[in-house]
């Protein structure tokens, strides 16, 4: 069966929102005292720097290359250029030995995490033919401990990658750091919508807005459901009809779907698109209880179709006012893992799996098969009625990713890697998946709950642990992982 992801990539109406590309600063250097001693050394080091610059430009980032530095004065000049550029990551290329005084000012002033790379020309030297000048071209490893020591004493976090210019393993690590810089940039420059009010009694979901923006950066736009109401009211019959037609292309429409509810969900979807555009949102969390079928209750109940379409386009949306989970879903999306709104549902001790999902917004691109729209006369625990999305996350490697807020103002990512597997699923309009974590489901559930996670998180395709840890490093927050035990 064709996957939902294939449906989405063929539809221009669902073209993904182009996220901000990471801005990566690049500075290369070596000790200027060598240049008059070994006339051939500087030209070869510049050629290596040019190769690194070209390779960096081939990644999904914008590169600010401030050139080659040879002494502390050059380093101070580069520091000011990189500070003004506002980079998400700065890469320092150690082309040969150089003193710490050349890079410490950059690390201190530029306001971005530093990655030092030591890429020698080839995998090994030709010992029989090399003279001192040729050896020095391979000497980028020599200053690395010096830099690490000086950075630590200056209070600057340290990370590095060592290899050689054509070492694909090293470039994969560098690419992971660039990808992590993209996550950092997405959060530092992101605009997160928070619409409605907290689900009554969900103490774990309540979020400290000052803490989130202070630790991660970005802006949290507090919205009213009236901001959505006025936009939905302006949706024309033709626009609603076009959105229904789009939904019919993407979803299997179950016979339980009531036409009036479907049409209302389509109107809300168009209004949501306008809300996101007008406020420049990168994510959205929402909830409104309402009463006796009044319009705000109907808006809250009509969100799932539009929120799922937005999530598929790269603007994650979550119900139940789950701001931290909408942020976690944004991180997962930027790491290529999708990320669908999820909570625990049940444990299958005979099969050894954990069943999880939600009756809310879903990331359609990670569906195992064509997603379904199912009509619900009642949402569990929530007022209203309407249509909901039902699917099973693509079978294979998956990662759970949540953002926990702990006592004392600490934020940390919580992750667990497993596999989604086939098996019986409820047909109740939920995004139910069966996940095997390689251990007793009861033991896993106890360990997962003990991390301080809230009861919502993102379910993502692929094993993303190493990439999440890199992003957390650049963001300056912790990571806790629940493994197979």
CATH of the domain at 458: 3.20.14
pLDDT recorded at residue 385: 67
Closest C-alpha among 321, 320, 358 to residue 340:
358
pLDDT at 384: 60
Query: Is 179 found in the same domain as 225?
Result: no
Q: Which of 168, 187, 206 is the last residue of a domain?
A: 187
CB 321, CB 199: distance < 8 Å? yes
pLDDT along the chain (485 residues), means of 10: 44 71 97 97 98 96 97 96 96 98 95 96 96 96 97 94 98 97 96 95 93 96 97 98 95 92 96 97 94 87 93 94 96 93 95 91 86 79 74 94 93 97 86 94 97 95 96 97 90
- Phi and psi at residue 88, in whole multiples of 5°? -90, -20
Residue 244 DSSP SS3: helix
Q: What six digits make up the tokens of 396?
A: 């294979």
Taking the CB of residue 188, how many other CB atoms lie within 10 A of it?
17
Conformation bin of residue 190: beta by default, left when phi > 0, alpha when psi is -120 to 50: beta
pLDDT of amino acid 337: 93
Helix axes 237-250, 304-312, angle to 10 degrees: 60
For 248, the enclosing helix (H) or strand (E) is helix 237-250
Nearest one of 418, 280, 393 to 338, comparing CA atoms? 393
377: in domain? yes
Question: Is residue 79 located within the same domain as residue 194?
Answer: no
Give the bridge partners for 191, in sequence order.
219
Based on the structure, what is the number of domains in the chain? 2
Q: Which of 171, 187, 203 is the last residue of a domain?
A: 187
Structure confidence at residue 43 (pLDDT):
98
CA distance 256 to 268: 20
Q: What CA dihedral angle connects 278, 273, 180 and 80, to 10 degrees? A: -20
Position 1 in a domain = no
Residue 357 and residue 388 in contact, taking contact as beta carbons nearer than 8 Å: no
Question: What does the block give as tokens for 309?
Answer: 């379409």
Determine the Cα angle at 92 with ends 87 and 95, to 5°. Answer: 155
């Amino acid at each position: 069966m064709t996957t939902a992801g294939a449906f989405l990539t063929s539809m221009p109406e669902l073209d993904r929102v182009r996220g901000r590309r990471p801005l990566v600063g690049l500075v290369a250097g070596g000790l200027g005292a060598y240049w008059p001693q070994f006339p051939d050394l500087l030209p070869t080091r510049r050629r290596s720097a040019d190769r690194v610059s070209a390779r960096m430009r081939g990644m999904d980032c914008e590169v600010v290359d401030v050139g080659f530095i040879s002494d502390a004065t050059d380093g101070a000049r580069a520091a000011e250029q990189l500070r003004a550029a506002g980079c998400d990551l700065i890469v320092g290329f150690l082309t040969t030995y150089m003193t710490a005084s050349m890079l410490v000012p950059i690390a201190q002033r530029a306001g971005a995490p530093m990655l030092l790379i030591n890429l020698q020309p080839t995998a090994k030297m030709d010992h029989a033919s090399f003279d001192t000048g040729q050896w020095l071209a391979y000497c980028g490893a020599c200053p690395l401990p010096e830099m690490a020591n000086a950075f630590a004493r200056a209070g600057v976090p340290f990370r590095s990658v060592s290899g050689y210019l054509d070492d694909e393993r090293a470039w994969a690590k560098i690419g992971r750091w660039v990808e992590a810089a993209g996550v950092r940039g997405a959060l530092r420059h992101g605009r997160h919508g928070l619409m409605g009010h907290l689900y009554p009694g969900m103490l774990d979901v309540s979020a400290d807005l000052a803490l989130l923006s202070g630790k991660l950066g970005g802006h949290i736009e507090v919205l009213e459901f009236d901001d959505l109401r006025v936009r939905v009211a302006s949706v024309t019959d033709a626009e609603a009809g076009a959105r229904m037609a789009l939904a019919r292309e993407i979803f299997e429409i179950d016979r339980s779907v009531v036409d009036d509810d479907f049409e209302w969900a389509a109107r809300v979807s168009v209004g949501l698109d306008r809300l996101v555009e007008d406020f420049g949102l990168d994510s959205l969390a929402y909830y409104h209880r309402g009463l006796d079928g009044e319009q705000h209750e109907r808006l809250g109940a009509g969100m799932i179709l539009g929120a799922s379409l937005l999530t598929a386009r790269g603007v994650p949306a979550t119900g139940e006012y789950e701001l931290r989970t909408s942020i976690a879903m944004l991180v997962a999306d930027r790491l290529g893992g999708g990320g669908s709104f999820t909570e625990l549902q049940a444990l299958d001790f005979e099969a050894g799996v954990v069943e999880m999902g939600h009756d809310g917004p879903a990331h359609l691109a990670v569906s195992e098969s064509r997603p379904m729209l199912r009509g619900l006369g009642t949402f569990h625990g929530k007022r209203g009625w309407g249509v909901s999305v039902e699917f099973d996350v693509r079978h294979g490697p998956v990662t759970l990713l949540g953002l926990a807020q702990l006592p004392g103002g600490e934020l940390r990512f919580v992750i667990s890697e497993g596999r989604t597997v086939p098996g019986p699923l409820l047909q109740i309009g939920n995004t139910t998946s069966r996940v095997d974590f390689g251990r007793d489901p009861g033991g896993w559930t106890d360990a997962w709950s003990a991390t301080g996670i809230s009861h919502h998180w993102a379910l993502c395709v692929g094993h993303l642990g190493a990439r999440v840890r890199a992003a957390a490093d650049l963001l300056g927050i912790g990571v806790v992982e629940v493994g197979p035990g």
